[in-house]
Amino acid sequence: MADEPASSLRRALDLLDALASDDAVAQGGWGVSRLAAQQGRDKSQVSRTLRVLADAGFVERDAGSMAYRIGWHVFALAARAADQRLLAAGAPILRRLVEKDLGERIHLSVLQGPEVLTILTETPPHAVQTVAWAGRLVPAHNTSSGRALLIDHDRDELERLLAGAVFGVGGPNAPADVNALFERILVARRQGFAIIDEEFEPGLVAAAAPVRGFRGEVVAALNVSAPKFRLGARLPLAGQAIKAAADELSRELGYDARRPTSLVARARAG
């Protein structure tokens, strides 16, 4: 009898794994009969376990199809775990970019409304450095990190998000308005990374790429920035290196580019 709680927990976890499978997600969930057959278990036992999981928010039942799917509580736990994983997995990637790949300051940033917050910075031992932005907010519309974080936004979303932004300030090449920004986002979207040439301030260039969470949404951006005289000629190659590192970090967070429609995307759509 002492093993019964552990066995019950194992069976519940097996049901969650089944509902997280590609087939179950693609079909919008599975019913009790399908789950019982897949698990080789009695339907009444599966039904009882699912009710307990539903009461706790780990699964939810579609009122129309009566199929079960992964519930909100799993996504909430995953989001909190991803926040911690972002910093833990990001730190060694930033160090490698500085020490082996680019030799310039690297930032890991997140979107805070219309601004960008840098949460982690790795710095090389150069005499001439760009400003360290860790813990500080900068505009999203004229920074490479901001462009990478906004890479999935359409024009209307940009209009709403940046309603109070002051365009045309910063560097000489800063976007003049939302339309100009959206055109540059489309370029970034096609190449997979954003390049900034004297948009945030004169003499500063940068490249950034989006980091995606397990559901496929942009959760952060990796960015390299440096004086133009030092990085300008290498900027396209730096963008490619940043994109490769951002893709690596995305995989660490559970993102699978082969599955563009994810569990959470389906749950949100439902």
Here the CATH number for the domain that contains residue 32 is 1.10.10.10
Q: Does residue 65 lie within any of the structural domains?
A: yes
Q: Count how many domains the chain has.
A: 2
Q: What is the mean pLDDT of residues 123-148?
A: 75
Note whether 13 and 31 are same-domain residues: yes
What would the pLDDT profile of 67-93 be if each residue is shown by its tens digit? 998 887 776 666 565 577 888 899 999
pTM more than 0.75: no
Residues 41 and 119 in one domain: no
108, 92 in Cβ contact below 8 A? no
270 falls within a domain: no
Question: pLDDT class for 134, splitting at 50, 70, 90?
Answer: low
Residues 199 and 168 in one domain: yes
235 vs 133, more confident: 235
Identify whether 257 is part of a domain. no
Is residue 261 one of the residues assigned to a domain? no
- Range(s) of the domain holding residue 192: 79-252
Residue 180 clears pLDDT 70, i.e. is over it: yes
Please check whether residues 83 and 211 belong to one and the same domain.
yes
- Say if 259 falls within a structural domain: no
Mean pLDDT of the chain: 86
- Residues 85, 50 share a domain: no
Output the domain CATH number for residue 147. Answer: 3.30.450.40
Name the percent of the chain lying above pLDDT 90. 51
Q: Say if residue 232 is in the same domain as residue 104.
A: yes
Q: Measuring CA to CA, how many Å separate 249 from each of 74, 120, 224? A: 21, 14, 15
Contact predicate 59/47, CB 8 Å: no
Q: What pLDDT score was predicted for residue 28?
A: 84
Kindly tell me if the per-residue pLDDT of 96 is higher than 90. yes
Q: What is the pLDDT of residue 267?
A: 36
Whether residues 37 and 95 fall in one domain: no
Torsion of CA 153, 157, 159, 163, to 10 degrees: -110
Residue 259 pLDDT > 90, yes or no? Answer: no
Q: Is residue 260 part of a domain?
A: no
In a domain, 193, yes or no: yes
**Residue 258 resides in a domain:** no
Mean pLDDT of the region 212-240: 94
Q: What angle do CA 152, 187, 139 make, to 5 degrees?
A: 60
- Whether 186 and 128 share a structural domain: yes
